[in-house]
């Protein structure tokens, strides 16, 4: 698939699944080939590489600022990565290093979300980071007003602070919203999923004991080469 086709798929669906994509290249090289890397390390205060390795871990009870701390091997609910940033990274690339046929990544695509989330409510929905020790920093659910549709959502790290946001949150928690989900399985080495983090929400299915050796690389992109949508 060429970069133009990747951009078209992202524009219409909010995600694209590329099987065995550039298998001889590293995830960093793939990211450089398709777009501009977000260096989340400075902003997030983490010291690891720009390519993170996602590894299923048991629930800890202490790493509560991380998804695995809360959910362990259970399903991760629909969310935007880094939803509590003023501007969350635009794209995330997930790429199988050691794939697992038993584990799905869930994508809640924009077409369905558009159907369920009322635009007027969405436009007036305000959230704030959940950390109560910090000052209230209100931020719109719409990440980018220039795009016809963009949302942020996270059940743990941001909280609704007005009625519109509470109504939108209840839609995202509803059974109808759960039905939107599309399962993508990163099974073989280099199977790749690119998600527009502003246009689609994502999550992860539960990890059964036989799939705890699943390893997925993650890297964020600010832009895709040759695309300004």
Ligand X SMILES: O=C(O)CCC(=O)C(=O)O
Which does residue 94 touch among ligand X, Fe ion, none (CB within 5 to 8 A, set by kind)?
ligand X
Which x/- pattern, by CB under 6 A, does the window 73-112 give for ligand X? ---x----x------------x----------x-------
- Which does residue 161 bind out of Fe ion, ligand X, none, counting CB within 5 to 8 angstroms by kind? none
Cβ distance 30 to 94 under 8 Å? no
| 34 vs 100, beta carbon nearer ligand X | 100
Q: Which of 202, 220, 221, 224 binds ligand X (CB under 6 A)?
A: 202
Under rule CB under 6 A, which residues in 8-67 are in contact with ligand X? 54, 67
Report the distance separating Cα 138 and Cα 87, nearest Å: 12
215-224 and 126-129 as β-strands: parallel, antiparallel, unpaired? unpaired
**Size of the chain, expressed as the number of residues it contains:** 229
- Applying CB under 6 A, among 90, 142, 152, 204 the residue interacting with ligand X is 204
Helix (H, G, I), strand (E, B) or coil at 196: strand
Q: Environment class of residue 174 by beta-carbon count within 10 Å: exposed (0-12), middle (13-18) or buried (19+)? A: exposed
217 binds ligand X (CB under 6 A): no
| C-alpha span between 161 and 130 (Å, rounded) | 10
* x/- track of binding to ligand X for residues 139-158 (CB under 6 A): --------------------
DSSP E strands in the chain: the ranges are 15-18, 35-37, 52-54, 76-79, 91-98, 104-108, 126-129, 139-140, 158-160, 181-185, 192-196, 201-204, 215-224
CB of 172 to ligand X, least distance (A): 15
Query: Which CB atom, from 13 or from 154, has the smaller least distance to Fe ion?
Result: 154
Shortest Cβ 81–Fe ion spacing (Å) = 4
Q: Which residues bind ligand X (CB under 6 A)?
A: 54, 67, 76, 81, 94, 105, 202, 204, 216
């Amino acid at each position: 698939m060429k970069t133009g086709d990747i951009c078209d798929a992202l524009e219409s669906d909010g995600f694209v699944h590329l099987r065995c994509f550039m298998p001889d290249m590293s995830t960093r090289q793939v990211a450089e080939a398709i777009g501009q890397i977000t260096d989340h390390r400075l902003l997030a205060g983490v010291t690891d590489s720009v390519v993170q390795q996602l590894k299923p871990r048991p629930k800890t009870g202490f790493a509560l600022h991380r998804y695995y701390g809360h959910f362990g091997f259970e399903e991760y609910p629909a969310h935007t990565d880094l939803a509590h940033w003023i501007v969350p990274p635009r794209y995330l690339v997930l790429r199988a290093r050691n794939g697992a046929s038993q584990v799905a990544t869930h994508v809640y695509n924009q077409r369905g979300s558009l159907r369920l989330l009322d635009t007027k409510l969405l436009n007036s929905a305000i959230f704030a980071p959940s950390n109560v020790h910090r000052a209230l920093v209100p931020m719109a659910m719409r990440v980018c007003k220039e795009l016809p549709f963009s949302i942020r959502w996270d059940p743990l790290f941001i909280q609704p602070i007005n009625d519109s946001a509470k109504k939108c949150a209840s839609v995202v928690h509803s059974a109808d919203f759960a039905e939107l989900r599309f399962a993508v399985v990163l099974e073989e080495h280099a199977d790749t999923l690119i998600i527009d983090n502003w246009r689609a929400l994502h999550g992860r299915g539960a990890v059964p004991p036989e799939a705890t050796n699943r390893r997925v690389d993650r890297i964020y992109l600010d832009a895709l080469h040759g695309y300004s949508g």
